[in-house]
Amino acid sequence: MNDHLLTLSPEPVWRHFRTLCNTPRPSGHEAKLVDILERWADDKGLAHDRDTYGNLRIRRAATPGYEAVPGIVLQGHLDMVTQANSDHPHDFLNDPLDTFVEDGWLHARGTTLGADNGLGVAAALAVLEADDIATGPIEALFTLEEETSLQGALSLDAGWLEGRYLLNLDSEDRGEVYIGCAGGADVVIDADLPMRGCNDDEVMRRVSLTGLVGGHSGADIHKELGNANQLLVRALRQLDEFDIRLVDYQGGTLRNALPREAFATIVINESHLPALEETLDALQTTYRAELAGVDDDVTLTLSPATLSCSDAEALTDTATDLLVAALHAAPYGVERMSAEVPGVVETSNNLGVVSLENGRFHLCALVRSLRDSAAENLADRFTALFGLIGAKTRVENAYPGWAPSAGSALLTRFRRLHQEQVGSDPAVKVIHAGLECGIIGGKYPHLEMISFGPVIRGAHSPTERTEIASVEEFWKVLKALVADIASGKAA
């Protein structure tokens, strides 16, 4: 499968990426890939071990004569976001990805590509086996469950890594190098809401919000893309004039992916159906006007429900009103731009996963900020708001940001090499996303760190793709940086 990847350049990187494409690796299910990489390391004579949590480290010994060179940690995560279009079902636990090339870009048919962070992992593996460069000691650190909880990095053993420099290979733009990132936390809300049966004149219908592009809840949060949960709740709010009641709701699948679709089953008086359809048609027109140029295909539809009023209950009128109002008032999107780093989002929130089933309401939002205090405050606003409807809130998987260091000698070295290899000075950036650097740096404060990578677009969505030419450039700079550190040249 994916044999065409073997024809692309640089061959070592694409060969390893093919292995990743052919090996299912959702978060929490990386064991098969870990086994494959350990067998590969054995075949290459490379040492490998795992820490207490199961994060994998593969080590390349220093080239003879280079033992005193400061060590490098090449770091990436093994798991990938598993998103598929509703018309393209995919078994992410068992089936390989189906990749194809179009106009210089690599895509996957109907699913996420896993270039985030598969290309970084593939590049690290390629460095481990490269026989055309001399290196000091190399450690390739491959973490687990980055996409769902950052738990691999959060659980990383202290005192395990030996290197002085860490190269995080999980960024997504050519000509850029990252020296800082946002921290964040999951806000998880649960409530049991009262229900009652249907009246004789009520019927059930399904309201669907589909057609959104989706994207990364950090890197794309400022692009004003549609959020399916926010838009469907807005529609339900307007439908309140028809005295609807909620039966169930499902929107979004991951807290760190902008939700592309959301679905609600409602109870409504049958006599209101014609007016309800007119309202939804008008709302769709409004949404398409508001989202023109970013989410042109947003679609609102009304269809028969799979349930009937004799089969299920709905929330009470009051519970429906309070839940919809709370969701409608909940923070989402960009909360504040940074005054210190122009053009960078400081604080944001993604209404990632919302569900209602048999009266059990669940919400998982992801708050991010360059300031830990701002993330804590935004999480507390959720606690205050949903406490008004009797919901319980807990904050989980909090992780620190990565404070930028513009005077880093490693950054100076990278900028010089980028100029030599590419012919331009890289843009130095801070990213509004949860790179693992902040967490790892908290455990290993002596590490100097930067993050860079090839061009990836649409990460965390089925439109994910990577520019093939940028992978060649990324590999060229990475190899030059590893060799330059080994050579002992001044930064």
CA distance 244 to 72: 60
pTM: 0.79
Q: Looking at 399, 425, 456, which one is the last position of a domain?
A: 399
Query: Does 67 lie in the same domain as 42?
Result: yes
Total domains, the chain: 2
Is 172 catalytic? The answer is no
Q: What is the pLDDT of residues 348-362, one digit of tens each?
A: 999 999 999 999 999
Query: Does 125 lie in the same domain as 45?
Result: yes
- CATH number reported for the structural domain that contains residue 14 in this entry: 3.40.630.10
Question: 438: part of which helix (H) or strand (E)?
Answer: helix 437-443
63 DSSP 8-state letter: P
Structural domain boundaries, residue 290:
185-399
Q: Which of 30, 79, 186, 295 is catalytic?
A: 79
Q: What is the pLDDT of residues 125-174, one digit of tens each?
A: 999 999 999 999 999 999 999 998 889 999 999 999 999 999 999 999 99
Q: What is the pLDDT of residues 95-115, one digit of tens each?
A: 999 999 999 999 999 999 999
Query: Does 359 lie in the same domain as 328?
Result: yes
Query: Does 427 lie in the same domain as 342?
Result: no
Structure token digits, residue 295: 């989410």
Mean pLDDT of 272-285: 97
198 contacts 267 by C-beta, under 8 angstroms: yes
Mean pLDDT of 478-490: 91
Per-residue confidence (pLDDT) for residue 490, from 0 to 100: 62
Q: Looking at 346, 375, 399, which one is the last position of a domain?
A: 399
Mean pLDDT of 303-316: 91
- CATH number reported for the structural domain that contains residue 236 in this entry: 3.30.70.360
Per-residue confidence (pLDDT) for residue 400, from 0 to 100: 87
Is 340 catalytic? The answer is no
The distance of Cα 160 from the centroid of its chain, to the nearest Å, equals 27
Per-residue confidence (pLDDT) for residue 491, from 0 to 100: 62
239 DSSP 8-state letter: G
Q: Which of 30, 146, 172, 261 is catalytic?
A: 146
Query: Does 129 lie in the same domain as 67?
Result: yes
- Would the pLDDT of 219 be above 70? yes
Query: Does 455 lie in the same domain as 389?
Result: no
Query: Does 255 lie in the same domain as 125?
Result: no
Per-residue confidence (pLDDT) for residue 407, from 0 to 100: 86
223 DSSP 8-state letter: G
249 contacts 363 by C-beta, under 8 angstroms: no
CA distance 52 to 28: 15
Answer with the residue of higher pLDDT: 399 or 423.
423
- Would the pLDDT of 65 be above 70? yes
Q: Looking at 399, 434, 456, which one is the last position of a domain?
A: 399
